[in-house]
Amino acid sequence: MSLAERVNVNRRRILIAGVSATGGLICGLPALAAGPDAANVERQLGHFIEIAGDGRIIIGSNQPEIGQGVSTALPMLIAEELDVDWSRVTVRQMPLGIMKTADGFTWKYGGQGVGGSTGLTGNFDYMRQVGAKARRLLIRAAAQRQDLPEDQCSTRSGVVVCGPMGTTVPYEELITDAAALGPIEDDVPLKQAKDYRIVGKAQTGVGVRDIVTGQARYGIDTREPNMRYAVIARSPYLNGTPQTVDDTGARQVPGVLDVFEIQGPKPDEPYAILASGVAVVATSTWAAIKGREALKIEWNKGPNANDSSAAFWRDNEEMLRGKGQVVLDDGDFDTALASAETVVEARYRIPFVNHAPLEPQNCYAHVTEDRCHIIAPTQMPSGASRSAHAVTGIPREHISVDITRVGGGFGRRLTNDYVAEATMISKHTGWPIKLQWTREDDVKHDFYRPAGLHHLRAGVDRQGRVVAWTQRLASASKYFRRPNVPDDELWTAELYPDDFPRRMVENLRLEYFNHRIGVPRGSWRAPAHTANAFVVQSFVDEIAHATGQSPLELRIALLGDERELDYSNHGGPTFNPGRLTRLLRFVAKEIGYERSRPAGRGVGLATHFTFGGYAAHAIEVSVADGGELTIERIVAAIDCGFAVNPSAVHAQLEGGTVDGLSTALGLEITVKDGQIVQSNFHDYPLMRLAQVPAAFETHILPYGDQPTGVGEMGIPSAAPALTNAIFAATGKRIRTLPIAQQLSA
């Protein structure tokens, strides 16, 4: 499923006889959650709202919570329109809800799946309608009870107020009557933003108390009756397989129950799972790990045994000497370049990086003859259901998926390969299984952020205007080995043609070359934006310096004023560069960009449009004589339209900034002799608190009344702002990431 298809899941509206996908009632109302609360069906309105006898409001969250705050923001929308006090709300995670139809399956609880920063945007109207319709039913119940017309009733903080006497009836006394009324099909009027009491105000994240007391349950915390533990020794060779397996030592480890081979995909097949290997099943995680350590496996090194990063970069250089696939050709690039006063040229190297969620992959699966129960930290629960079905053949309506809290998504959990693995092991053994990945498993087996070599050239005229621009990219396309993606479409994962500076530079050409290195590739947070924003925002800086212009003024000249340009990729349908101008001016002013700094100290700027949201960074660094880099100050700004939960928006901007900087400072995944080199946090060093300056300000610049996403917007402009600052401080231009030791050289 393409990213575009995935992110549209929230926008499907399918009406099946008697069921409304917008949260209406159905016969045989499903419980809000399995278990004891199934008894409270008569106190539930639709799928999302339950009102307890003591006035507590239980609101269901249908999306996976990966730390982006969706399980706070969406219930806030419901509570706002329902008109209850936020302090009375408890949020409960909903499982996957799918229903069989004549020709497939449809959503029971609306589209469920998070990725591409769509959790909020795809549900902004939907969840408000859920709350508003429920409020309407409560009003209707009160009006009927008092034999009054509905228009003489209104609500106030969990109470219906009726008639000239202003008689009040609390929701908890009306809920069973309201629940018995028919569903409301047509949309009802919603509140105006000026009347918001909950939305638009900073709210503490749902579940924070559970987190700080150790009560929050992640996938790894699953404990079910009779459960066994499994780990897999996966082929360290890309596309390798086990040749000989000696499991005598493994079977002697106390607690080890079973050892057997797991078959991965063939080198030309899509990745149902990432690798072939050997599963070890035991009575505890540690016994399984020890059992695996005792395995003696000889590996068939497979067809990629000679893959290496050195060869990868050499091949990319070689490819760039030739002609690639021209995927965009605006105006007349060759003539414009030939007529330019100055030509600026640079190459940039972007490495593979690992997702590294702090909770490593894991999944609970219990396969019986005709049922399958999955408990998983997933971003795509429907994909989990499909993965389990593909492994077992069990009909999807008999596969249940419980979504746990997710200890970091970052795009890793878009793919449900670990669900497939757990299901395979449960099917083979007949036991309930918790499959656990170790950190080494996670670093060495991933759908990595694609690496690429970018070659940029631009022509600048005598007035300093950029008249020609080309980006030529040789990369390991994310779509390589995806089903149904022909070779000539591999570029669509790597270049987003309507990104800046298209239509701001008239003569613009994009050219692509795909590299077939055996490294699995996938969606890392803000996919190709991380590479392209770094490259483009660095190159604009280089153009400015090469032609004696201010990096700020050149960007403003290119971006221009507010206007809507076509934007065909995810995050469209339009892109307004003037909103980037606004952010850029703001951060530049806040950091005092025009003020000169002493030698060894400098400020860098960058700005980028990501999946519908706008962000900018101004970063100040100092670089000591020995090359030691200190990030002195960060000013980050986001324009996400309307901020539903400002606390979460600031958090995503802080976290995205750290993610971008962390990755640029020290992270890369390399390949040698057909194997991933890195293995844990000692050689994949995530940024630590000490590297983050205390002087770190985040700003929300509001725009209009519609929210955009925020989960990925804070990343892309962070790294180029950093390296632009390094240049300003030292005159040294970083063109290869990670920065690592380049400044000490």
Residues making contact with another protein (CB under 8 A)? 65-69, 202, 204-205, 207-209, 211-218, 220-221, 223, 229, 254-255, 284-287, 290, 356-360, 405-410, 438-440, 647, 651-652, 654-659, 662, 680-682, 686-690, 692, 694, 696
* CB-nearer residue toward another protein: 445 or 502: 445
Shortest reach from residue 739's CB to another protein, in Å: 17
* CB-nearer residue toward another protein: 309 or 645: 645
Q: Which two tokens stand for residue 186?
A: 């047509």
* CB-nearer residue toward another protein: 174 or 737: 737
Please, are residues 151 and 162 in contact by the beta-carbon 8 Å criterion?
A: no
Q: The tokens 């949260």 sit on which residue?
A: 23
Contacts of 167 (CB under 8 A, 6+ apart): 146, 161
* CB-nearer residue toward another protein: 493 or 651: 651
* CB-nearer residue toward another protein: 156 or 681: 681
**DSSP assignment string, 461-515:** -TTS-EEEEEEEEEE--TTTT-TT--GGGGGGGT--TTSTTBTTBSEEEEEEEE-
- Choose among 531, 532, 530, 552: nearest CA to 541: 552
Shortest reach from residue 606's CB to another protein, in Å: 18
Q: Kindly list the distances between the CA atom of residue 687 and the CA atoms of 14, 254, 691, in Å, as whole numbers in the listed order.
A: 45, 38, 7
Q: The tokens 């499994």 sit on which residue?
A: 230
Shortest reach from residue 229's CB to another protein, in Å: 7
* CB-nearer residue toward another protein: 164 or 214: 214
Shortest reach from residue 428's CB to another protein, in Å: 22
CA dihedral 271, 273, 275, 281 (to 10 degrees): -170
Q: Which two tokens stand for residue 570?
A: 């995810």
Helix (H, G, I), strand (E, B) or coil at 550: coil
Side by side, the strands of the sheet bearing 629-639 are 601-610, 613-623, 629-639, 696-700
* CB-nearer residue toward another protein: 391 or 661: 661
* CB-nearer residue toward another protein: 287 or 453: 287
- Choose among 596, 599, 604: nearest CA to 620: 604
Please, are residues 665 and 742 in contact by the beta-carbon 8 Å criterion?
A: no
* CB-nearer residue toward another protein: 207 or 302: 207
Shortest reach from residue 648's CB to another protein, in Å: 8
Shortest reach from residue 202's CB to another protein, in Å: 7
Please, are residues 533 and 608 in contact by the beta-carbon 8 Å criterion?
A: yes
Q: The tokens 């063939």 sit on which residue?
A: 266
Shortest reach from residue 237's CB to another protein, in Å: 23
* CB-nearer residue toward another protein: 383 or 409: 409
* CB-nearer residue toward another protein: 86 or 218: 218
The residues that bridge with 4 in the sheet, in sequence order, are: none
Shortest reach from residue 216's CB to another protein, in Å: 6
Shortest reach from residue 297's CB to another protein, in Å: 20
SS (H, E, C) 64-88: CCCCCCHHHHHHHHHHHHHCCCHHH
Helix (H, G, I), strand (E, B) or coil at 264: coil
Side by side, the strands of the sheet bearing 49-51 are 44-45, 49-51, 57-61, 89-93
Q: Which two tokens stand for residue 478?
A: 């994310």
Shortest reach from residue 681's CB to another protein, in Å: 4
* CB-nearer residue toward another protein: 140 or 413: 413
Shortest reach from residue 604's CB to another protein, in Å: 19
Tell me the C-alpha distance between 226 and 456, whole Å: 58
Contacts of 604 (CB under 8 A, 6+ apart): 541, 551, 618, 619, 621, 720, 721, 722, 723, 724, 725, 726, 727, 728
- Choose among 532, 526, 530: nearest CA to 512: 532
Shortest reach from residue 449's CB to another protein, in Å: 14
In 108-126, which positions are buried (b, 16+ CB within 10 angstroms) versus exposed (e)?
A: bbbbbbbbbbbbbbbbbeb
* CB-nearer residue toward another protein: 254 or 270: 254
In this structure, which amino acid lies at residue 48? Answer: F
Shortest reach from residue 675's CB to another protein, in Å: 19
Shortest reach from residue 203's CB to another protein, in Å: 8
* CB-nearer residue toward another protein: 330 or 654: 654
Shortest reach from residue 497's CB to another protein, in Å: 30
Burial of 296 (0-12, 13-18, 19+ CB in 10 A): exposed
Please, are residues 91 and 145 in contact by the beta-carbon 8 Å criterion?
A: no
* CB-nearer residue toward another protein: 193 or 208: 208
**DSSP assignment string, 551-563:** HHHHHHHHH-SS-
Shortest reach from residue 690's CB to another protein, in Å: 4
Q: Which two tokens stand for residue 162?
A: 């009726």
Burial of 218 (0-12, 13-18, 19+ CB in 10 A): middle
Q: Which two tokens stand for residue 574?
A: 């339009």
* CB-nearer residue toward another protein: 242 or 357: 357
